């Protein structure tokens, strides 16, 4: 039993990647089979991830050496609590895939289904690989797998605007990737190693140098671009709004978290090297608080519901980055829990919005007035998601907001606590507009007045996710209890 974790760990990454390769073969006879196959692969991956998490819970973190080459030289996969927590992100794929079955019917020609599902699985594989990789080079490779599949998924919708959005996304993404590659090269030159743990140890042994600082700073900036932290966010809104809704859900909920997980890896790397993190933390706090307010401010002017949701991602990344910058136990716990809770909420919102767009053909607030009358369940899910993302109790968003704000007061940065609480108020302004239009206005479009509820394959994922938003709000102790040891370890490593 003891070796089960290390044995299974490589398969966690291999399974979705192999699935991606097999999708075109499965889809050769009938493109519709690709959807079912992808769902099966996503479920199997989730099941595998749960086994690994159970292993972690019973016997602590474990590593696997690929091909039997031992750690500093071979490729190491490492499964710690941070990685385990990101497994929950991957589980969200199992909701997105069934949702996209019927969604693709209306939005994509059949011949593009196989590439779509293959890219989804590639994205999943990259995400999982990124969370469990133990060395710097694979951190770069898996990040590129995630990024490239994301660019392609944005472009898959195929219209002119989508290509532009994808290009903008690609250009900024490429800058960030180059920065990571540059930093990886620099770190290798400095330490002669690529293994994360090993690099950290060797950096600590060496004199703190400008080059090491430069490498870590490049990594941090690159990951902040990936996370779309204001003002590095310019690629995000268009890409997320133009993509098909299941893709928006994945991009907004999960892919931006690559940047956050990367940032945490940078912190782990820097721990113990004697490099002061104070300047970085100050930058993170200021940018995080700015992002909260600016994301909300920009969202207020949007009429397109998907653009509104995209801008709210910017605010929420602001929460997480602010929490990391505050670097107090409560704030880090809140930030880390929000990595998943935001993903859950955002996937709920994008899928619900997708269902509404799919059923009515409209995507702006002014057209979608009164949609709740005909699609009460989907609209209720949307309302739960909206209330969660604003952070009203008792929902998943409140727990995180509570902890991050508490962390601000704990770190004697009360000003940021107030900024967060009132930034959230600002965010609510535009969600009130949305709920007001959906629930309390009369329909102006015949398609909305005569809309019917979404088919069950779309509605069920949305409803289950919305219920999860409530459950995680009421039982907030569970996720917090899970990430608390990881945060304690990180803080101990950082010497706090």
Cβ neighbours for 148, distance < 8 A, ≥ 6 positions apart: none
For 159-218, give the DSSP string.
SHHHHHHHHHHHHHHHHHHHHHHHHHHHHHHHHS--BHHHHHHHHHHSPP-HHHHHHHHH
In Å, how far from its chain's centre is CA 379? 23
Smallest distance, Å, CB 393 to other proteins? Answer: 4
Distance (Å, whole) CA 97 – CA 226: 23
Residue keyed to tokens 């031992």: 70
| CA torsion angle 41 44 45 47 (round to 10) | 160
User: 244 or 417, CB closer to other proteins?
Assistant: 417
Task: In angstroms, give the least distance from the CB of 480 to other proteins.
Answer: 5
Nearer to other proteins, 137 or 402 (CB): 402
The least CB distance from residue 405 to other proteins, in Å, is 5
Judged by DSSP in three states, 134 sits in coil
C-alpha to C-alpha distance for 10 and 132, rounded to whole angstroms: 9
Identify the CA nearest to 367 among candidates 285, 441, 289.
441
In the complex with other proteins, the residue whose CB is nearer, 394 or 455, is 394
C-beta of 223 vs 403, nearer to other proteins? 403
Check: CB of residue 74 under 8 Å from CB of residue 198. no
End-to-end CA distance of the chain: 36
How many Å is the maximal CA-CA distance in the chain?
Answer: 70
Minimum CB–partner distance for residue 371 and other proteins (Å) = 12
65 vs 484, beta carbon nearer other proteins:
484
d(CA 371, CA 435): 10
By CB under 8 A, name the binding residues for other proteins.
Answer: 373-374, 376, 387, 392-394, 399, 402-403, 405-406, 409-410, 414, 417-418, 421-422, 424-425, 428-429, 432, 436, 439-442, 474-477, 480-481, 484
| 309 touches 252 (CB < 8 A) | yes
Whichever of 275 and 411 has its CB closer to other proteins, that residue is: 411
Closest approach, Cβ 131 to other proteins, in A, equals: 24
Angle at 322 between CA 316 and CA 324, to 5 degrees: 110
Which residue lies nearer to other proteins by CB, 306 or 342? 342
Closest approach of Cβ 406 to other proteins, in Å?
6
Nearer to other proteins, 325 or 476 (CB): 476
Closer to other proteins by CB, 47 or 425: give it: 425
User: What phi, psi does 443 have (nearest 5°)?
Assistant: -60, 145
What is the Cα–Cα distance from 269 to 196, expressed in whole angstroms? Answer: 7
Closest approach of Cβ 409 to other proteins, in Å?
3
What's the rounded Cα separation, in Å, for the pair 494 and 271?
5
Q: Are strands 62-65 and 76-79 parallel, antiparallel or unpaired?
A: antiparallel
CB of 17 to other proteins, least distance (A): 37
Spatial separation of the C-alpha atoms in residues 119 and 148, rounded to whole Å: 9
Q: How far is the CB of 368 from other proteins (least distance, A)?
A: 16
For residue 450, the minimal CB distance to other proteins (Å) is: 13
The tokens for 70 are 């031992």
For residue 432, the minimal CB distance to other proteins (Å) is 6
Q: What CA–CA distance (Å, rounded) separates 411 from 404?
A: 10
Query: 304 pairs with which residues across the strands?
Result: 364
Nearer to other proteins, 158 or 393 (CB): 393
- C-alpha 103: how far from chain center: 22
Nearest to other proteins of 365, 399 (CB atom): 399
266, 490 contact by CB (below 8 A): no
Among residues 78 and 401, whose Cβ is nearest to other proteins?
401
Distance in Å, CB of 426 to other proteins, minimum? 10
Residues in the chain, overall count: 496
Six token digits for residue 31: 């493109």
């Amino acid at each position: 039993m003891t070796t089960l974790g290390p044995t299974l760990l490589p398969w966690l990454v291999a399974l979705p990647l192999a699935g991606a390769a097999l999708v075109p073969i499965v889809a050769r006879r009938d493109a519709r089979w690709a959807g079912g196959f992808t769902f099966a692969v996503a479920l199997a991956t989730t099941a595998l991830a749960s086994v690994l998490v159970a292993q972690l819970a019973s016997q602590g973190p474990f590593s696997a050496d690929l091909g039997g080459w031992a750690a500093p030289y071979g490729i190491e996969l490492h499964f710690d609590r941070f990685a385990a927590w990101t497994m929950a992100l991957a589980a969200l794929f199992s909701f997105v895939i069934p949702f996209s079955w019927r969604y693709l019917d209306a939005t994509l020609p059949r011949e593009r289904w196989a590439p779509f599902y293959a890219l989804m699985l590639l994205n999943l594989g990259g995400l999982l690989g990124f969370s469990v990789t133990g060395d710097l080079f694979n951190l770069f490779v898996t990040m590129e797998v995630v990024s490239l599949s994301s660019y392609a998924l944005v472009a898959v919708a195929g219209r002119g605007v989508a290509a532009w959005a994808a290009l903008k996304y690609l250009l900024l993404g490429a800058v960030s990737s180059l920065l990571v590659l540059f930093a990886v090269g620099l770190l290798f030159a400095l330490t002669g190693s690529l293994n994360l743990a090993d690099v950290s140890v060797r950096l600590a042994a060496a004199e703190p140098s400008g080059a090491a600082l430069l490498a870590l700073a490049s990594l941090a900036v690159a990951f902040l671009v990936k996370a779309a932290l204001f003002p590095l966010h310019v690629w995000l809104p268009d890409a997320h709004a133009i993509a098909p809704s299941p893709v928006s859900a994945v991009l907004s909920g999960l892919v931006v978290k690559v940047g956050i997980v990367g940032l945490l890896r940078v912190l782990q790397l820097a721990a113990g090297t004697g490099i002061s993190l104070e300047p970085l933390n100050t930058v993170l706090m200021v940018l995080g608080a700015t992002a909260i307010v600016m994301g909300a401010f920009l969202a207020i002017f949007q009429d397109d519901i998907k653009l509104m949701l995209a801008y709210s991602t910017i605010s929420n990344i602001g929460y997480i980055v602010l929490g990391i910058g505050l670097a107090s136990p409560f704030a880090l716990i809140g930030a880390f829990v929000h990595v998943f809770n935001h993903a859950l909420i955002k996937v709920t919102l994008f899928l619900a919005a997708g269902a509404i767009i799919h059923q009515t053909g409209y995507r702006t607030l002014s057209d979608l007035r009164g949609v709740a009358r005909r699609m009460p369940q989907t609209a209720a899910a949307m309302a739960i998601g909206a209330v969660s993302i604003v952070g009203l109790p008792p929902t998943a968003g409140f727990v995180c907001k509570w902890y991050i704000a508490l962390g601000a007061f704990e770190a004697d940065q009360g000003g940021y606590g107030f900024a967060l609480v009132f930034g959230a108020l600002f965010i609510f302004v535009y969600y009130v507009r949305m709920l007001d239009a959906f629930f309390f206005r009369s329909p102006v479009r015949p398609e909305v007045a005569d809309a019917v509820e979404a088919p069950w394959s779309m509605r069920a994922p949305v409803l289950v996710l919305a219920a999860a938003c409530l459950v995680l709000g009421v039982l907030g102790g569970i996720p917090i209890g899970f990430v608390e040891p990881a945060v304690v370890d990180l803080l101990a490593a950082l010497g706090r």
